[in-house]
Structure 1
Amino acid sequence: MDTTAETSMKQKWNTQGKKKSSNKRKWLQALIFLLPSLLLLGIFFAGPIIMTFYFAFTDMSLTGASAQNIQYVGFQNFTNMFQDPSFKTSFMKTMVFLLMSAILGQQVLGFILAMLMREKNATVRRITGTAVIAGWVTPEIICAFAFVTFFSDNGTLNHLLNIFNFGPVSWLYTFPMAAVVIANIWHGTAYSMMMFQAALDGVPKEIHEAAMVDGAGRWQRLWRITIPSIKNTISTNLVVITLGTLGVFSLIYTMTGGGPANSTSTMPVFMYKQAFVNYQLGYGTAISLILLLIGITFSLLYIKFLKTDQE
């Protein structure tokens, strides 16, 4: 009996040992296959992030003594930043641009379009979807030039106003922030629309039908059924469009250059001017870290206040 038990235990241990050895080989094979990707991520993603954190605390510049002999300056760049009136202006312009073009623009308009298309037939959905998605697939620089042409003094908008005997308006000078907000909404709304459309298609129609039988109105069904059902999508979409809008540079810089008088100088534009116009790379890198921190803060707030049912 003892011999049989010992033999059984040895066989069990051998089997477990073979399984562990096999699992180790599988993990090693997987690691070998993933190694090129991990190296690329380390070189082109993790590496620049680490360098960004380092250069933000230096006086690195493109010209002068600091270009050859980089010195560690601690928090001096951040101290100068928070004392700079131009940074405060760019921060406020960034918040206005984010609120108007992303949160109220892309998010709300995308949701409205998705709701309107929900009850339409397939032909209307295809035509409307194609028209809206055309803006999203258009490269940002082309979108910027298109809206420069639209809002210019001799542009399309003024020609249309001239038909109704309204005088020409210098839109990019008089209402520059409104112009870049409209351009960014046109360019990015399609993503929100597609996200909400997919989420709304997943809401069971039986729930709405039952609510209608119980006497629930359109707005009651919207606030008590539709929005809670797609809370995950709302949170995810807010994070994506917020991070995307915080990084918008070429659209604004091409349309207005940050002007007139810094009226559209958001943080990416301000960062670019400090780093590549004033040649203060260390200072520009510090601004980019603040921009990253703003994006992380907004993302955490969205997740906190739009908690999912699984949480």
Structure 2
Amino acid sequence: MATPPSASTFAQLLRDEGVTVVEVGNWEDHNRNHKGPWGPVYGVMIHHTVTSGSAATVRICRDGYSGLPGPLCHGVITKDGRVHLVGYGRANHAGLGDPDVLAAVRAERAAPADDEATVDGNRHFYGFECENLGDGEDPWPEAQLEAIERVSAAICRHHGWGPLSVIGHLDWQPGKSDPRGFTMASMRERVADRLVGTAPPVVLPEPVKPTVDLSRLVAAAQSDPSRAGTPVSYAGVKTVEAALVDAGLLEKPYLDGHFGSATVDAYARWQRLLGYSGTAADGVPGMTSLKRLGDKYGFTVVA
């Protein structure tokens, strides 16, 4: 039996394994826990998305769709190898599966063929959706395969599990084919190789964070919306817009360095997420809200 760690610990153990993590919106509190418990957890389940395009894939996996509300997993692994955290807790990814498979995963032995669907997998598995069309032809870049290996190993390392705790959706639920394009046996071999020994993984140095000047940003927010076209009045706007995109508040086409009305609206949504309202959530950055955004998405703020 294993209890999931806190959301912050979960994100850090992935980073400690060398994973590039992107935190999407309020992922720490986005879950389906009102539908039932999450845990004890027994393994990691890998899926493919049958989608293309990273932004659309992350959005679908975070929000879900008609008949299947999000989150649809805990992390989305895009083709560039980044892991986008979209939820933490119970997620709609595994569905009902085979009790004999669950028993095998718990005992860390080879799983039998899945031939029934009677046990709640959403309660007992971490889930990762991987951007791929699932047609057997869409390629799996090495960066993406390595990210699958790393997240699986990180979770196994934390709980003291072995590679047999990592399964595919096709191992769990009859009729499922995901992930298609590589075998879970080959992925478990990769995880096993990574788990050999107990030495901690190499921790890469933190990248230098960009700096955003609050006064110049405010000037752009106040003047850009009324200017014709999309001129860039301050390069730091693009840093803030990239953070708003990662937060799921701004569509990627508006990541252009112009603090226009779409960026103002997105920043106002960020302010409301922090609890501001009225004129305090007008879309013009303030020191506290900007520092909170920078702390979460990797930039520093100067006055």
Query: Hey, which of these two has a bigger chunk of helix by percent?
Result: 1
TM norm structure 1: 0.22
Rg bigger for which structure?
Answer: 1
Query: Hey, which of these two has a bigger chunk of strand by percent?
Result: 2
TM norm structure 2: 0.22
